[in-house]
Amino acid sequence: MNAKITFQELSVMLAESSGLPRKMSEDFLREFTVLVTETLSAGESVKIKGFGTFKLVEIEERKSVNVATGREMTIPVHLRVTFVPSKELAMSVNSPFSAFETVEIDDEISDSEIESVSSEEMIRNNEESNSDEKESGYRETDGYSIQDKTPDLEDRSEQKGPEPDHVASDYDSSEYHPTFESYLDDEDDVDGPDDMENVSNKDGKRFGQGFVIGSLFTLVIVGIIYFVMFGDLEKGSIKQERVTKREVTKTDTISKEISDTVLNEGKTAEGTLTVDTRPSDEVIYDTISTTRFLTTMAKQHYGNYHLWPYIYEENKAILGHPDRIRPGTKVVIPSLSKYGVDAGNKDDIEKAKRLGAEIYARYN
């Protein structure tokens, strides 16, 4: 992580990935940059499908102060080169975090409560992200094993209907779930508080590895105790406030775990995709609403919205036109293995797209 990749390293990686000779990849990179530079200098933008767009943006004249001399000066009108990654590239880069969705926060929680939870988690996050990748604890964060640590988050995000897990079913599911239904477009989030992260990252490095291991285990143990106690004591009478508060905490915890894995091992990105696969014998239900469609469910349960046709196929007896499903309709979410589909396989995604087109064709 945070490594600087030079031109040589990049050309080696490119040669490996493309299977073409090193010389060719080197020439390619050189010519690519030259050509893009030429095109941009000519005032034209470069739009590469599936990759992104290099374009020029005019920056208006503005006043600024020279930090060294304190003298005021004007920065003249100029052009800035911007690169907007395509949706595919942006999604692929973000794949370690693709399991998360935007969560609605209940009005009853005050800002200070949220602050205290998230700042606490952020500090722990930074301590742990600096630890060594050899640490065995991080193995747990791949795929299924997330279930061991935080079973109730798994349940919450995957199952909308009857919940076999005793802990999750302790809560009233109607007040528990709707917060996951909201969606924000990815593109909205361009400016974020990443300065803060950098600063505390430096601080975090002072902590020894031993301390980090210790704090991780304490965290896990405290988590389990907390979880067991509340599961038993407050059966059925848990207040909404507490539920949502814990929801915030759990999202933090999982995000921390996943980001740690990614940052430390780099290559586990595919692992997060498999988070959503379940043993095939479970039956999961979901309910269509005005904000939840088959695609929303496919994205959540399978990690890819293109896979919606399989949900449709499973329920075709009760569904009509896929765009005109009545809100409130309860559908069964089949296991992907039933159709022999792998969410990480590109061919299967293509197959699902064709199946989707076929379903639409039935109604034309």
Partner 1 sequence: MDKRTLTDILSKRLNIDKEQTGILLDSFRDVLSDCGRKLDTVSLPGFGTFESKKRMERIALHPATGKRLLIPPKIVLSFKASAILKQKVNKEL
Cβ 258 to partner 1 shortest distance, Å: 9
Cβ 283 to partner 1 shortest distance, Å: 28
Between residues 54 and 293, which has the closer beta carbon with respect to partner 1?
A: 54
DSSP string, 8-63: HHHHHHHHHHHTS-HHHHHHHHHHHHHHHHHHHHTT--EEETTTEEEEEEEEPPEE
Cα 41 to Cα 190: distance, rounded to the nearest angstrom: 26
Between residues 132 and 358, which has the closer beta carbon with respect to partner 1?
A: 132
Residues with Cβ within 8 Å of residue 216, at least 6 apart in sequence: 128, 131, 135, 137
Cβ 10 to partner 1 shortest distance, Å: 6
**Structure token pair of residue 289:** 């609403």
Cβ 5 to partner 1 shortest distance, Å: 5
Cβ 108 to partner 1 shortest distance, Å: 11
Between residues 44 and 282, which has the closer beta carbon with respect to partner 1?
A: 44
Residue pair 247/106 in contact by the 8 Å Cβ criterion: no
Cα 334 to Cα 315: distance, rounded to the nearest angstrom: 9
The pair phi, psi for residue 4, each rounded to 5°, is -100, 125
Give the residue among 70, 265, 283 at the shortest CA–CA distance from 159: 283
Cβ 326 to partner 1 shortest distance, Å: 23
Between residues 182 and 337, which has the closer beta carbon with respect to partner 1?
A: 182
Cβ 132 to partner 1 shortest distance, Å: 16
Between residues 94 and 116, which has the closer beta carbon with respect to partner 1?
A: 94
**Structure token pair of residue 23:** 């010389």
Between residues 119 and 280, which has the closer beta carbon with respect to partner 1?
A: 119
Cα 29 to Cα 18: distance, rounded to the nearest angstrom: 13
Residue pair 231/167 in contact by the 8 Å Cβ criterion: yes
Between residues 180 and 310, which has the closer beta carbon with respect to partner 1?
A: 180
Cβ-based neighbour number of residue 211 at 10 Å? 12
Cβ-based neighbour number of residue 199 at 10 Å? 11
Helix (H, G, I), strand (E, B) or coil at 333: strand
CA angle in degrees (0–180, nearest 5) for 52-54-56 = 145
Residues with Cβ within 8 Å of residue 128, at least 6 apart in sequence: 212, 215, 216, 256, 260
Cβ 129 to partner 1 shortest distance, Å: 10
Cβ 109 to partner 1 shortest distance, Å: 9
Between residues 262 and 336, which has the closer beta carbon with respect to partner 1?
A: 262
- Which residue, chain included where needed, has tokens 């739009």? 47
Cβ 42 to partner 1 shortest distance, Å: 9
Between residues 110 and 209, which has the closer beta carbon with respect to partner 1?
A: 110
Give the type of residue at 181: E
Between residues 18 and 209, which has the closer beta carbon with respect to partner 1?
A: 18
Give the residue among 319, 331, 332, 328 at the shortest CA–CA distance from 359: 319
Cα 264 to Cα 1: distance, rounded to the nearest angstrom: 7
